[in-house]
């Protein structure tokens, strides 16, 4: 048997080495990983207007992504009644944190992309998948009724099933051209239909075997787009 | 008196001379886990992740590489410090070593290859809790020299990876009609939704255009059946594994 003293000293040495080496490495790589994260998020936002960019978002270099944001992207922050908040940029609003607040106190990031092909409103939405959170960006055309594009991501959905919302490019492509208002003019959002879409104007095909994630996307879109309605109806 | 002393010294020196860097034993350590001592089908370790990530080929390959690297490196480190680890806290010590190594890989990827980091992020937690890593540290690295432990880690990682990739190929091909995302078999019909059927326009795949994707294959349940069938085949073929008790 080892003495208690030896065990305590061993554990202290082991954990100190672990703590010092990991802290040192984290400090050394922090600025780079933050920069990567920022560019990654901006690239995801651009993915929703991917059809209207000169290059596909995955081919843009990091600098080009930042340049588009500097030159063509207008950043607006809204509250839940649709009033513009001054002195804050959309990229500083973290929807994950906003979701934890009571509904009426939340802030909404809105990006307005001014390109030579028109004006696009890029909304950010967030909801629950099967295992963890899912989120996405939805671009609306100038009429504020037609979806121009969408991109989705997730924290821990199953590869091959729920993770297809991000991994399979044909899923997000389905949203292009969908209407968020019914023919009678009522707000409906977009429905991800289990199996196949019934009405191609308002619905997209679900992912086989991932019903919970598909329903999560529907819920996220219907609720998330509605949050922006007070502002979109005003302008 | 003096004579016996000399004799003892001679005896003690003998085994050091005849130890090749990669001899019969190392070969066995590397290749055994691929067949007769496979971590999944024989040791029945790491089954949970084998069910979780094998619905597509690409994540299976990534997971195989990641687990091989972690098992090999943690075996090496654990074996180097094995004589200093007090027996009563050995598992905690092993866990710390595994967690530190995985976190280092995670931090480096996050700073220098963000794309791969994003692809891997779901699996990193699964690597730390993978039974194969701890299992090999307990069963082998705690009692063997660093080099052999390293080889043992690589062998077990490869044995695990081989099963993962085979299961991944079967599941992706039969479940989605694709391999690494490329359509191989399935109906060629544009009206059919991508998620129900995949189109293989020409070549070999067009012979299988009658094939409708089996949705069960996409679910983890299918991996359970495939792994079970593999265990069945292996055990009935290999006389060493037949349980006579």
Dihedral class, residue B211 (left if φ above 0, else alpha if ψ from -120 to 50, else beta)? beta
Using DSSP bridges, classify how beta strands A191-193 and A203-205 pair: parallel, antiparallel or unpaired.
Answer: parallel
Domain of residue A185 covers 38-232
- How many Å apart are CA A66 and CA A46, to the nearest integer? 11
Separation CA B87–CA B128 (nearest Å): 21
User: CB-side exposure of A193: number of CA atoms within 13 Å?
Assistant: 15
Q: Average pLDDT for residues A137-162, to the nearest whole number?
A: 89
- Reading the block at residue A170, the tokens are 């044909």
The answer to whether B122 touches B102, Cβ cutoff 8 Å, is no
A73 burial (CB, 10 Å; 0-12 / 13-18 / 19+) is buried
Q: What confidence category does residue B23 fall into, taking pLDDT thresholds of 50, 70 and 90?
A: confident
Average pLDDT over residues B98-106: 89
ipTM of the complex: 0.72
- Encode pLDDT of B42-65 as tens digits: 888 888 888 888 888 888 888 898
**Measured between beta carbons, which residues in chain B are less than 8 angstroms from residue A195?**
193, 196
Mean predicted confidence (pLDDT) in A187-212: 85
* Residues above pLDDT 90, as percent of chain A: 40
Q: Is residue A12 part of a domain?
A: no
Q: Would A145 be classed as within a structural domain? A: yes
Backbone angles phi and psi of B18, in degrees to 5: -100, 65
Interface mutation target, options A16, A35, A65, A159, chain B, most CBs of B under 10 Å: A159
What residues does each domain of chain B span? 45-177+214-239, 179-212
Kindly tell me if the per-residue pLDDT of A24 is higher than 50.
yes
Mean pLDDT over the full length of chain A: 89
Number of domains into which chain A is organized: 1
A154 with A134: CB under 8 angstroms?
yes
Angle (deg, nearest 10), helices B57-80 and B146-176: 170
| A13 located within any domain | no
Cβ contact B88–A36 (<8 Å): no
Q: Output DSSP code: residue A34.
A: H
Residue owning tokens 């208690």: A4
Closest chain B residue to the Cα of A205, Cα to Cα? B193
Of A11, A18, A33, the CB nearest to B111: A33
Total count of residues recorded for chain A: 235
- Alpha-carbon distance B82 to B101, whole Å? 17
Nearest to A29 among B53, B107, B218 (CB): B107
- Cβ pair A91, A75 in contact under 8 A: yes
pLDDT digits (tens, 9 = 90+) for B131-181: 899 999 999 999 999 999 999 999 999 999 999 999 999 998 888 778 887
Mean pLDDT of B77-98: 91
Identify whether the C-beta of residue B72 lies closer than 8 Å to the C-beta of residue B66: no
Nearest-by-CA chain A residue for B197: A208
Question: Band of the pLDDT at B209, cuts 50, 70, 90?
Answer: low
Residue A205 φ/ψ, nearest 5 degrees: -70, 140
Is the residue at A66 inside a domain?
Answer: yes
Would you call A209 and B215 a contact, using CB atoms and an 8 Å cutoff? yes
Q: Is residue A15, in this structure, part of any structural domain at all?
A: no
**Predicted confidence band at A31 (pLDDT cuts at 50, 70, 90)?**
very high
pLDDT at A204 over 60: yes
Q: How confident is the model at residue B244 (pLDDT cuts 50, 70, 90)?
A: low
């Amino acid at each position: 048997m080892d003495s208690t003293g030896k065990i305590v000293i061993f554990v202290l040495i082991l954990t100190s080495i672990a703590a010092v080496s990991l802290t040192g490495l984290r400090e050394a790589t922090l600025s780079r990983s933050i920069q990567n994260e920022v560019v990654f998020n901006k690239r995801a936002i651009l993915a929703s207007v991917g059809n209207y960019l000169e290059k596909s978002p995955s081919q843009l270099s990091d600098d080009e992504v930042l340049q588009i944001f500097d030159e063509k992207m207008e950043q607006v922050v809204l509250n839940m009644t649709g009033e513009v908040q001054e002195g804050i940029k959309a990229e500083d609003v973290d929807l994950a944190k906003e979701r934890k607040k009571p509904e009426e106190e939340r802030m909404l990031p809105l990006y307005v992309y001014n390109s030579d092909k028109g004006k696009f409103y890029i909304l950010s939405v967030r909801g629950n998948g099967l295992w963890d959170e899912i989120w996405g960006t939805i671009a609306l055309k100038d009429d504020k009724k037609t979806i121009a594009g969408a991109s989705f991501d997730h924290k821990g959905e199953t590869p091959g099933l729920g993770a297809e919302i991000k991994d399979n490019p044909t899923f997000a492509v389905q949203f292009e051209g969908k209407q968020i208002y019914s023919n009678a003019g009522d707000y409906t959002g977009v429905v991800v239909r289990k199996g196949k879409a019934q009405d191609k104007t308002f619905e997209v095909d679900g992912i086989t075997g991932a019903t919970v994630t598909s329903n999560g996307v529907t819920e996220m879109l219907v609720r998330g787009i509605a949050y922006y309605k007070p502002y979109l109806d005003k302008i | 008196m003096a004579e016996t002393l000399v004799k003892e010294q001679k005896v003690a020196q003998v085994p050091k001379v005849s130890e090749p860097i990669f001899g019969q034993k190392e070969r066995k350590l590397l290749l055994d886990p691929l067949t007769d001592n496979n971590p999944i089908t024989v040791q029945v370790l790491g089954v949970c992740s084998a069910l979780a990530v094998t619905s597509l080929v690409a994540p299976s390959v990534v997971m195989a590489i990641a687990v091989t690297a972690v098992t090999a490196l943690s075996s090496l480190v654990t074996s180097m410090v094995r004589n200093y680890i007090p027996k009563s806290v050995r598992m905690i010590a092993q866990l710390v070593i595994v967690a530190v190594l995985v976190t280092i890989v995670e931090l480096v990827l996050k700073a220098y290859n963000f794309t791969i980091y994003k692809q891997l992020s779901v699996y990193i937690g699964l690597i730390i809790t993978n039974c194969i890593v701890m299992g090999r540290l307990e069963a082998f690295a705690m009692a063997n020299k660093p080099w052999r432990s390293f080889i043992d880690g690589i062998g077990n990682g490869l044995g695990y990876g081989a099963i993962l990739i085979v299961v991944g190929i079967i599941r992706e091909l039969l479940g989605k009609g694709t391999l690494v995302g490329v359509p191989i078999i399935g109906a060629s019909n544009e009206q059919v939704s991508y998620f129900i059927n995949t189109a293989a326009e020409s070549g070999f795949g067009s012979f299988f255009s009658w094939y409708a994707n089996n949705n069960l294959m996409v679910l983890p349940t299918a991996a359970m059946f495939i792994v079970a069938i593999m265990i069945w085949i292996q055990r009935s073929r290999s006389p060493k594994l037949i349980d006579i008790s």
